[in-house]
Amino acid sequence: MNSAEIRQKFLDFFASKQHQVVPSAPIVVKDDPTLMFINSGMAPFKDYFLGNKPAPSKRVADTQKCLRVSGKHNDLEEVGYDTYHHTMFEMLGNWSFGDYFKKEALEWSWELLTDVYKLPKDRLYVSVFQGDQAENLPMDQDAYNIWKTMISEDRILMGSKKDNFWEMGDTGPCGPCSEIHIDLRSEEERAKVDGKELVNNDHPQVVEIWNNVFMEFNRLADGSLVKLPAQHVDTGMGFERLCMAIQGKQSNYDTDVFQPLIQYVANEAGIKYGDDEKKDIAIRVISDHIRAISFTIADGQLPSNNKAGYVIRRILRRAVRYGFTFLDFKKPFLYKLTEVLAEQTAHVFPELKQQLGFVQRVIEEEENAFLRTLENGLKRLDALEESFKQHNNTIDGKTAFELYDTFGFPLDLTALIAREKGLKVDEEGFGKEMEQQKNRSRNASATEQSDWVILQPDVVNEFIGYDCDVTDAQIVRYRQVKAKNNSEYHIVLDKTPFYAESGGQVGDVGYLVADGERVEVLDTKKENDLILHITKNLPKNLEAGFSAEIDAERRNLIRKNHSATHLLHAALRTVLGDHVQQRGSLVNEKVLRFDFSHFAKVEEAELRQIEHIVNERVRQAIPLDERRNVPIDEAKEMGATALFGEKYGDFVRVITFGSDYSVELCGGTHVFNTGNIGYFKIISESSVAAGVRRIEAVTASAAEEYMQQQLNELNAVREVLNTQSNVSGAVQKMQEDLKVLQKQLEAFELKQLSSLKDSLAHKAQQLDGINLITERVELSSADYLKKLAFDMRQVVDNLVLVLAAEIDGKPQIAVMLSDNLVQDKNLNASQMVRELAKEIKGGGGGQPFYATAGGKDVAGLDVVPGKAQELVKSIIKG
Ligand code: ATP
Ligand code: MG
């Protein structure tokens, strides 16, 4: 069975048990401050478990893209060294949202593994939660009893909280679980050691393949457990491990999930996989990492310097370095692999193939950037290796930080290289250095949240802001959030006109009014599906009936900018082509910003054309066609611009301005007629990242203001020029005149310089075979001072020249000596100028034959010539 068939069998099996099969949610998480990437199949369904919203179907099955490189579940260090942990992997899952429970879940998992996939029963073990005193949880007797009917009791193992109580993160849904393990060792090996001994013991051939979690609890911020409103089943089976078991392989990397990538990398490196363990590890790491990198980028997260973006950059840099050091890849290579991966996964995860060009460009650019510093960083490490060995075998924090800051080495990469060299890294020291460099990767997430205080359980918060700006409302829950020197409240209402920041549109501001008290809402944000009104204070009477009022004027400006963004998006596709995809946006009351994939600068003429199309649509006064609660498939049929980032269960809102012009999935607020936008004006076009451009624009009164400013500027120029027509012609003429004048001035000054030279030459005093000239002169630039000194050297032999001049209001001194004097008379221009500079309260230096000084005291210039004479005399005598 190849991997595609194995995956399909799983989905078909649960479809036959009345499960709805749904596609994977995007691996990048939006709107959830507790999670950056999906780390398990259950994460996208969190809200259904918590009862925040009802599940659209009680039984669901899917394969979910997961990433485990940060937070509670982090397998990064294992990847490539072991054969069964990946950064990105697929988790096959079946789900019961308040429907079936332990019996069905366990029986079906057994049926699928042994009947459908025909895995040998005598190689399977199962585990059951043994209970935990500290948590006050009993043993899972139910699960034990169910297993007993299918598998002999000596194959049912008891597991501790660590292995048999599953939690997604520090808070959130959790519960006891029952794992299924498989022993893939040879008969010979099995005869020697009982497989039971190796379960959950990091043996590469005795691995967990499936975990059935029984979601019963919610873990609160204070660490306590509370019962969930209903009982659920959440199962997760590692797809790559399942393929290994069914295909009879010893390693996930030997399955057809990884082999195409592995062979491609080996081929590029000109070696055979399996010949050299070090190189094999590098090949495995690269084949693993490219999956994580490609899918996160395809799902909308670009590599960057902080948060989720930095996670991807770290993975990418690890992969680059493995290739560089072990496979001799000195040029970008990762980006080529994406093509193999895209072909291989197009039938399950089409998003990669659809954006292949873009993903490749982003990766190649990242590779190039890191390859520019990698080699020097590695050299630096090598150079210091001996010194590390003498210092406790430790790379000190300063060096680790230097590697990070100057050479772009993420800490985990430095730690990895250190391990290869038998060294440690002073991570604490690194942390201190990091701290000191304040404005880098500042972590704003150091906040402390209290648990929710629930005033009205079971009330769903409803957004009614598409239809009105004011409503009666009640508080259903609130909590306090403390940051360093700041505290605020999050208030959830039963219904609200406040739009929560999302899809690039900023949150509304406004007031909650009750009993004569007006509590200001500073911002509105979303956490999963909760709409959080952010306030400085709590209202006095929490149970009052409130009037919730948004700042409607501000919202109207936002509407115009948001609708204009849609018109812009469509115009970009018309003018530049269908490859244009939205990469990010910002819409507030002042400006709109739209980031999109495009590979070149947008030319001036193109910008004008785009602007023109948008303004045509504005003038056509196209009415808004808004449809809510459209199932995602239907929206796609309507021709909505394909947006990755939607997940199963999403009912979307479709915003149309002319069904043949702009159809978009969007939750934002819009004008009822494009005519309300008034006028659209692009104010800038720039690059934000490899293959991503940004346009900023303004609309309505802001556009009017912008144009007025430009016009005022022009009028001011007209006034200065005293001309009404052909302003640019007048300016051009002025510049030409200026050039002529400058030339004339230069010629005049050179002439003056030459006569100054002649008159100075006549002033030379004879002193012990020296021609001594010390003068205060008038010159307009330092260049002329220098030129004069060098010209004098040409015409006067045995020259000691000291010039003092005020240039641009500052005193300057130049000393010039003939070369023979430097050698024979012990004279040194540099020393002399330093001595003389004291008179003008300054300093300077230069070469033995020519030196200059500047200072602060212009008055001192007058005494410099006399002082210079004395100085020269004293040197000659001495
Ligand atoms: P392990 O102890 O092997 O790390 P786990 O207890 O972390 O596994 P779960 O969180 O229960 O695993 O995830 C469910 C299933 O997903 C596991 O049974 C396994 O098959 C698979 N899985 C977990 N982590 C990884 C990973 N990093 N790479 C590939 N598959 C994984
Ligand atoms: Mg694990």
CA of 40 to the centre of ligand 1 (A): 9
Task: Decide: residue 633, CB within 10 A, 0-12 exposed, 13-18 middle, 19+ buried.
Answer: exposed
Q: Is the CB of 559 under 6 A from ligand 1?
A: no
pLDDT score of 837 more than 70? yes
Q: 673 has which bridge partners?
A: 623
Mutate to test the pocket of ligand 1, among 42, 65, 76, 85 (most ligand atoms within 8 A of CB): 85
Q: Residues 645, 774: one domain?
A: no
The residue whose CA is least distant from atom 23 of ligand 1 is: 238
pLDDT band at 444 (very low <50, low <70, confident <90, very high): very low
Q: Do the Cβ atoms of 447 and 485 come closer than 8 Å?
A: no
The per-residue pLDDT for range 348-367, each reduced to its tens digit, is 999 999 999 999 999 999 99
Q: Residues 591, 691: one domain?
A: yes
The per-residue pLDDT for range 729-769, each reduced to its tens digit, is 999 999 999 999 999 999 999 999 999 999 999 999 998 88
CA of 834 to the centre of ligand 1 (A): 74
Q: What is the 3-state secondary structure (H, E, C) of 575-611?
A: HHCCCCCEEEEEECCCCEEEEEECCCCCCHHHHHHHH
CA of 251 to the centre of ligand 2 (A): 17
Q: Residues 360, 488: one domain?
A: no
The mean per-residue pLDDT over the stretch 29-37 comes to: 81
Please state, as a whole number, how many other Cβ atoms lie within 10 Å of the Cβ of residue 134: 6
CA of 84 to the centre of ligand 1 (A): 9
CA of 88 to the centre of ligand 1 (A): 11
The residue whose CA is least distant from atom 27 of ligand 1 is: 85
- Compute the CA torsion angle 208, 43, 234, 250 (nearest 10 deg): -20
* Nearest atom, ligand 1, residue 210 CA: 18
Q: Please tell me the number of the ligand nearest to residue 162's CA.
A: 1
Q: Is the CB of 291 under 6 A from ligand 1?
A: no
Residues at the annotated binding site for Zn(2+)? 562, 566, 666, 670
Query: Is the residue at 228 inside a domain?
Result: yes
Q: Please tell me the number of the ligand nearest to residue 40's CA.
A: 1
pLDDT score of 32 more than 80? no
Residues at the annotated binding site? 562, 566, 666, 670
Q: Residue 351's pLDDT is what?
A: 93
Say which CATH number the domain at 223 has: 3.30.930.10
Q: Residues 217, 282: one domain?
A: no
Look at 648-652, 783-787, 872-876 and tell me which has the smallest mean pLDDT.
648-652
Query: Is the residue at 324 inside a domain?
Result: yes
Q: Of 373, 393, 412, which residue is a domain's last? A: 373
Q: Is the CB of 208 under 6 A from ligand 1?
A: yes
Q: Please tell me the number of the ligand nearest to residue 179's CA.
A: 1
Query: Is the residue at 432 inside a domain?
Result: no
Distance in angstroms (rounded) separating the CA atoms of residues 797 and 388: 61
Q: Residues 193, 89: one domain?
A: yes
Query: Is the residue at 831 inside a domain?
Result: yes
Q: What is the 3-state secondary structure (H, E, C) of 509-542?
A: CEEEEECCEEEEEEEEEEECCEEEEEECCCCCCC
Q: Is the CB of 361 under 6 A from ligand 1?
A: no
Domain that holds residue 294: 258-373
Q: Residues 688, 805: one domain?
A: no
Distance in angstroms (rounded) separating the CA atoms of residues 217 and 225: 6
CA of 211 to the centre of ligand 1 (A): 8
Query: Is the residue at 195 inside a domain?
Result: yes
Q: Is the CB of 241 under 6 A from ligand 1?
A: yes
CA of 70 to the centre of ligand 1 (A): 14
Average pLDDT, the chain: 92
Query: Is the residue at 740 inside a domain?
Result: no
Q: Residues 288, 339: one domain?
A: yes
CA of 208 to the centre of ligand 1 (A): 7
Q: Of 250, 267, 298, which residue is a domain's last? A: 250
Q: Please tell me the number of the ligand nearest to residue 182's CA.
A: 1
In our burial notation (b when 16+ CB lie closer than 10 A, e otherwise), range 503-536 reads bbbbbbbbbbbbeeeebebebbbbebebbbbbbe
The per-residue pLDDT for range 221-265, each reduced to its tens digit, is 888 999 988 899 999 999 999 999 999 999 999 999 999 999 999
* Nearest atom, ligand 1, residue 177 CA: 11
Say which CATH number the domain at 635 has: 3.30.980.10
Locate tokens 């239809």: which residue?
467
Q: Is the CB of 62 under 6 A from ligand 1?
A: no
In 3D, which of 48, 41, 47, 1 has the Cα closest to residue 25?
Answer: 41
3 state SS of 574: helix
CA of 167 to the centre of ligand 2 (A): 11
The mean per-residue pLDDT over the stretch 548-573 comes to: 97
Q: Is the CB of 351 under 6 A from ligand 1?
A: no
* Nearest atom, ligand 1, residue 78 CA: 27
**Six-digit token string for 825:** 């008379």
How many domains in the chain?
5
Q: Do the Cβ atoms of 11 and 48 come closer than 8 Å?
A: no
Q: Residue 698's pLDDT is what?
A: 98
The per-residue pLDDT for range 655-669, each reduced to its tens digit, is 999 999 999 999 999
pLDDT band at 440 (very low <50, low <70, confident <90, very high): very low
Say which CATH number the domain at 536 has: 2.40.30.130
In 3D, which of 767, 608, 595 has the Cα closest to residue 680?
Answer: 608
Q: Residue 649's pLDDT is what?
A: 66
Mutate to test the pocket of ligand 1, among 74, 77, 91 (most ligand atoms within 8 A of CB): 91
CA of 38 to the centre of ligand 1 (A): 13
Q: Residues 33, 151: one domain?
A: yes
- What are the angstrom distances between the C-alpha of 81 and each of 1, 205, 251, 286, 875? 26, 14, 11, 12, 76
Q: Residues 118, 240: one domain?
A: yes
Q: Is the CB of 89 under 6 A from ligand 1?
A: yes
Residue 278: phi and psi, rounded to 5, are: -60, -45
* Nearest atom, ligand 1, residue 236 CA: 14
Q: Of 310, 342, 373, which residue is a domain's last? A: 373
* Nearest atom, ligand 1, residue 86 CA: 28
Look at 72-81, 410-419, 809-818 and tell me which has the smallest mean pLDDT.
72-81
Q: Is the CB of 83 under 6 A from ligand 1?
A: no
The mean per-residue pLDDT over the stretch 531-554 comes to: 96
Q: Residues 205, 293: one domain?
A: no
Q: Is the CB of 85 under 6 A from ligand 1?
A: yes
CA of 80 to the centre of ligand 2 (A): 15
Q: 631 has which bridge partners?
A: 651
Query: Is the residue at 613 inside a domain?
Result: yes
Q: What's the whole-model pTM score? A: 0.71
Q: Is the CB of 80 under 6 A from ligand 1?
A: no
The residue whose CA is least distant from atom 25 of ligand 1 is: 85
Give 454-459 contacts, CB < 8 A, sequence gap 24+: 455/542, 455/543, 456/494, 458/51, 459/494
Q: Residue 443's pLDDT is what?
A: 44
Q: Is the CB of 258 under 6 A from ligand 1?
A: no
Distance in angstroms (rounded) separating the CA atoms of residues 828 and 871: 12
CA of 14 to the centre of ligand 1 (A): 21
Query: Is the residue at 381 inside a domain?
Result: no
Q: Is the CB of 93 under 6 A from ligand 1?
A: no
Q: Residues 296, 217: one domain?
A: no
Q: Is the CB of 26 under 6 A from ligand 1?
A: no
The per-residue pLDDT for range 34-79, each reduced to its tens digit, is 789 999 999 999 889 888 788 889 999 999 999 998 777 888 888 8
Q: Residues 464, 483: one domain?
A: yes
Distance in angstroms (rounded) separating the CA atoms of residues 662 and 659: 6
